Every structure is written in structure tokens, then in C-alpha cells.
Amino acid sequence: MAVIRKTQNKLFMKYIFKISMLIVILSTIGCKSDKNKVTDHKEPIDDYSEKIDSLIAVTHPRFFNGIIQITKNGKTKYLKEFGYSDFENKIPISINDKFRIMSNSKQITAVLILKEVEKGRIDLQNPISEYLPNFEPNWADTITIHQLLNMSSGIISLEKPLLFEPGKGYRYSNPGYGLLGRILEKVTGKEYIQLANHMFKELGMNDSYCYELDTSNEGLINGYWLENGKLNLVEFDSMGFTKESWKDFIPAGGIISNAHDLNIWDTKLHNGEILNSVSHKEMVTPSNSGPHAAFDNDTIGYAYGLRIHNRHPVQHLGHGGRGFGFASIKFYIPEKDVDVIIWENIYARDNDWMAGDIVYHFENEIRKIVLNSSLSK
């Protein structure tokens, strides 16, 4: 009996050993299978780079000369430089070059206003006269800060009657944003230039600053008019700005930056690092609507220094900027954390250039490519 039991025990131990080995083998196969699953999970196909490259190769209705930078979740997905920063000396354009961001300056001004709202120094529903009591136009008592921000003030000039009753229409207004700059100076006791430059420093935007007359304005590249295929250097000093008129223009379009800094701006602005959640929501919630060539002339929402394309299947927000030999568009897709910055140092003045179709031709087409690509899915 002892021998039989001993034999049975040996057989049982062999059985246990085989079962254990089988479990190990099955586990290994399972792990390999899991690894294969991870390996099979690939990045979305790049269905945009070749399309952008092909678009840029086209020279009709004009050629492209500038920078294109696209990021997603903080990672660069497309970054290319095309052409020259200085055509006369054939200096290639660089991602680090600084350019005039023109009307993209307006969102900087909007943020500065909202930061003062957070401090309790400004009420968006107060009229202009509350902060500029000596401002002469009789409409100063009827236009609110909110209406200056969302282009519903009706201001076409500080010396002319309003185009419509405040709050009852849409009119893009550089003078309105100039008044926001004056209001900021009144409530803070500081120059607009000081406020903006200090904020850039705090955010790590080391290549951004307000352009000033009669200073070196370090790193700013040339801007060019493009007419009938010919380039002409923009002589900014001959454009007739005085120190006072330029001071009023800075909050509307007088800021200098580059693609790297603008990416920092978009990332921090839309991830809660500049404004609190209430202010940010106010800034990106459309309260007016109007068309713009940089967004295919669609009539879309306007919030505070930002256009909100809420009629497109892929909601995106941003702004265009043009003038003095420069053109740009900057837009952000919140749901996908995609940031697109396109800028050029040429400004096409062929055909109906005021309409902007030729000015923003490449900007518009690239925007469509991105919105219909894997980047937005």
C-alpha cells in the first residue's frame, strides 16, 4: 500500500507540474496578445502634411511666404518655413522670426480687461464714461465695456456718429479696442505697453512685445506689399502715425510676436493658466456675430477678441490679422487641443484686396485641410 501511495503522489505531482506549465504558457500567450494589441494601436494617419505641401507649391492666385505650425496635445505635428524674411538680401524665413500679429493683438487686450474684471476694477456692463469721464462723444454714456469687446458698439471713428444703436449690430472696430487700452491705463495707472509686456514676461513669452515708435523693435522682420506679382518693402515710418495715434492702435493691432510665443499663449489661455474659469468662459462665449475672410467669410460668433466658429462640425476659435505687409490666422480646436498658427510677411493687394479673399487664401485653405483631417477627429 505504501508503494502504491508513493506512486500516486508522484503521478499527482507530475499532474500539478503540467497544469502549472500550461498556465504559464497560456499567460505568456495572453501577454503577447496584449502587447500585440498595444502595438496595433497606432497614431492616426498623417492625412494633412502632403496636402499642405501641395497647396503651398501652388503659385496661384499668389505664392506663400511664411510659417506654418500645427501642434496637438503639445506635440508638433507640422512645422515648416517657406521663403524669405528679407527678399532683398535673400535671408530665409525662420520659425524664430518676429512679425506683426495685427488684429490678433485684440485677444491680448481682452485678457488684460478680464484680468481687471477679476480684480473688481472693471465691470463689463458699465459705460465708457464710468472710466473715462472726460471723454467727449455723447455716446460715451451708452456704450458698455462688453460692447467694445464684442464689436457691438457701433463705433466707426471717435469723431463720427455711431453706425447703429449700441448692442444692436456688428461692426469691426479698431477705435473701440483703442478705447479699451485707454480704460486699462485709467484703472491701473500704468501704460498699456507696461501691462502687456509684463504679462508676456510672466507667461514666458520672451519674444513678444508692443511695437513702439522710434525704438529698435528687436527681431521684427520686413513686411511686403504684393501687387501684380511684384514685392514692395513696407516703409512703416512713412505711414503717418503719431505717438498718440499709434498708442491708440497698439491694443487693436500693435503687438509683435512669433509662432512659438503664440503657441504658449493659446495653450495657457485655453488651459486655465491666464484667466479663471468664469472669465475664460466669458471670453470664448459668442455674444455677437459677423463675417471674416480668414474664416471663409462665414458669419460666425464673435466673443472677446476671438471669433468662434460654432457653425462648423468641428468648433474652433481664433482670429485673423492683416496689415503693414503681414497676414496671419491663429485658431484652436478645444476638444482636440489642436493649435494652428499661420503667418506671412507678404500682404496681397491684387483684385479686391480689402475683401481679404486673396490675402487669406492659403490661411483659409490650410484651415479647411486641418478641420477635415485626422487632427480634428
Q: Over 50: is that where the pLDDT of 37 sits? A: no
Work out the average pLDDT over 344-352: 87
Q: Over 50: is that where the pLDDT of 78 sits? A: yes
Tell which residue, 347, 368, 372, has the closest CA to residue 295. 368
pLDDT for 5 equals: 43
**Mind listing the pLDDT tens digit for each residue in 275-333?**
999 999 999 999 999 999 989 899 999 999 999 998 889 999 999 999 999 999 999 99
pLDDT for 229 equals: 87
Work out the average pLDDT over 352-376: 90
The residue extents of the domains of the chain are 1-33, 49-376
Bridge partners for 341 per DSSP:
69, 330
pLDDT for 295 equals: 92
Q: Over 60: is that where the pLDDT of 8 sits? A: no
**Mind listing the pLDDT tens digit for each residue in 210-219?**
999 989 898 9
Work out the average pLDDT over 17-41: 43
The Cα–Cα gap between 249 and 252 comes to 5
**Mind listing the pLDDT tens digit for each residue in 172-211?**
999 999 999 999 999 999 999 999 999 999 999 999 999 9
Q: In the CATH scheme, what is the homologous superfamily, with its name and number, of domain 49-376?
A: DD-peptidase/beta-lactamase superfamily (3.40.710.10)
Q: How confident is the model at residue 356 (pLDDT cuts 50, 70, 90)?
A: confident
In this structure, are strands 316-323 and 66-72 parallel, antiparallel, or unpaired? unpaired
Distances (CA, A) of 362 to 58, 220, 246: 10, 22, 29
Instruction: Give me the amino acid identity at 330.
Output: K
For CA atoms 83, 87, 90, 95, the dihedral sign is negative
Q: Residue 70 in contact with residue 370, Cβ under 8 Å? A: yes
Work out the average pLDDT over 17-42: 44
Per cent of the chain over pLDDT 70 is: 87
**Mind listing the pLDDT tens digit for each residue in 87-116?**
999 999 999 999 999 999 999 999 999 999
Q: Which residue has the higher pLDDT, 5 or 339?
A: 339
Contacts of 67 (CB under 8 A, 6+ apart): 80, 81, 82, 93, 95, 97, 259, 341, 342, 343, 344
pLDDT for 355 equals: 63
Q: Which residue has the higher pLDDT, 44 or 298?
A: 298
DSSP state of 233: E
Q: Over 50: is that where the pLDDT of 84 sits? A: yes
**Mind listing the pLDDT tens digit for each residue in 119-166?**
999 999 999 999 999 999 999 999 999 999 999 999 999 999 999 999
What's the order of all strands across the beta sheet hosting 326-333? 75-82, 66-72, 338-344, 326-333, 316-323, 307-309, 299-302, 288-291
